[in-house]
Amino acid sequence: MDKTARATFGTKLGIIAATAGSAVGLGNIWRFPSQTAQDGGAIFVFVYLACVAFFGVPIVLAEFILGRAGKANSARAYRNLAPGGWFHVFGYFSISAAFLIMGFYMVVAGWTLEYLRLSLTGELASTNDFGALFSSLTNDAGTQIGWMAVFVLGTGGIVAFGVKKGIELASKLMMPLLLLVMLVLCVRALTLPGAGAGLSYLFAPNLETAGDAGARLLTDALGQSFFSLSVGMGTLMTYASYFGRDVRLAKTAGTMAALDTAVALLAGVIIFPAAFALAAHPESMVETLKAGGPGLVFISIPQLLQSLPAAQVWSVFFFLLLVLASLTSTISLFEVITAFVHEEVRVTLPKKIFSPRGEAAGTGETAVSPGTLRQEYRIARPFAAVVIAAGIIALGVFCACSLEENSALRLFGLSFFDFLDFLTAKLMMPLGGIFISLFAGRRLDKKILEAEYSNAGTLSLRFFKVYRFILRWIAPAGIAVVLVCGLF
Residues that bind ligand PHE (CB under 6 A): 22-23, 25-28, 101, 227-228, 230, 235, 329, 332-333
Nearer to ligand PHE, 279 or 479 (CB): 479
In whole angstroms, the minimum distance from the beta carbon of 23 to ligand PHE comes to 5
The span from the CA of 169 to the CA of 10, in Å, is: 10
Nearer to ligand PHE, 28 or 437 (CB): 28
Residue partners of 481: CB distance under 8 A and separation at least 6: none
In whole angstroms, the minimum distance from the beta carbon of 337 to ligand PHE comes to 11
Nearer to ligand PHE, 181 or 360 (CB): 181
Q: Could you tell me which of 96, 106, 337, 152 has the C-alpha nearest to residue 238?
A: 337
The span from the CA of 127 to the CA of 312, in Å, is: 12
Nearer to ligand PHE, 237 or 285 (CB): 237
Q: Please give the residue whose beta carbon sits closest to ligand PHE in the complex.
A: 27
In whole angstroms, the minimum distance from the beta carbon of 26 to ligand PHE comes to 5
Q: Which helix (H) or strand (E) holds 329?
A: helix 311-344
Burial of 280 (C-beta count, 10 Å sphere; 0-12/13-18/19+): exposed
Nearer to ligand PHE, 277 or 418 (CB): 418
In whole angstroms, the minimum distance from the beta carbon of 324 to ligand PHE comes to 12
Nearer to ligand PHE, 29 or 393 (CB): 29
Q: 157, 332 in Cβ contact below 8 A? A: no
Residue 427 CA to chain centroid, in angstroms?
15
Exposure string over 393-411, b if 16+ CB within 10 A, otherwise e? bebbbbbbbbbeeebebee
The span from the CA of 378 to the CA of 389, in Å, is: 18
Per the DSSP assignment, residues forming a β-bridge with 411 are 414
In whole angstroms, the minimum distance from the beta carbon of 424 to ligand PHE comes to 8
The span from the CA of 213 to the CA of 451, in Å, is: 43
In whole angstroms, the minimum distance from the beta carbon of 326 to ligand PHE comes to 7
In whole angstroms, the minimum distance from the beta carbon of 22 to ligand PHE comes to 5
Q: Tell me the CB-side half-sphere exposure of residue 88, using CA atoms within 13 A.
A: 16
The span from the CA of 375 to the CA of 360, in Å, is: 9
In whole angstroms, the minimum distance from the beta carbon of 115 to ligand PHE comes to 16
The span from the CA of 191 to the CA of 194, in Å, is: 9
DSSP letters for 152-172: HHHHHHHHHT-IIIIIIHHHH
Residue partners of 1: CB distance under 8 A and separation at least 6: none
In whole angstroms, the minimum distance from the beta carbon of 25 to ligand PHE comes to 3
DSSP letters for 39-80: TTSHHHHHHHHHHIIIIIHHHHHHHHHHHHHH-SSHHHHHHH
Per the DSSP assignment, residues forming a β-bridge with 373 are 351, 367
Nearer to ligand PHE, 105 or 453 (CB): 105
The span from the CA of 172 to the CA of 162, in Å, is: 15
In the three-class reduction of DSSP (H, G, I as helix; E, B as strand; rest coil), residue 304 is classed as helix
In whole angstroms, the minimum distance from the beta carbon of 361 to ligand PHE comes to 38
In whole angstroms, the minimum distance from the beta carbon of 389 to ligand PHE comes to 17
Nearer to ligand PHE, 226 or 276 (CB): 226
Quote the radius of gyration of the chain (alpha carbons, Å): 23
Nearer to ligand PHE, 105 or 201 (CB): 105
Nearer to ligand PHE, 81 or 333 (CB): 333
The span from the CA of 273 to the CA of 190, in Å, is: 6
Nearer to ligand PHE, 95 or 373 (CB): 95
In whole angstroms, the minimum distance from the beta carbon of 208 to ligand PHE comes to 29
The span from the CA of 134 to the CA of 351, in Å, is: 54
Nearer to ligand PHE, 114 or 421 (CB): 421
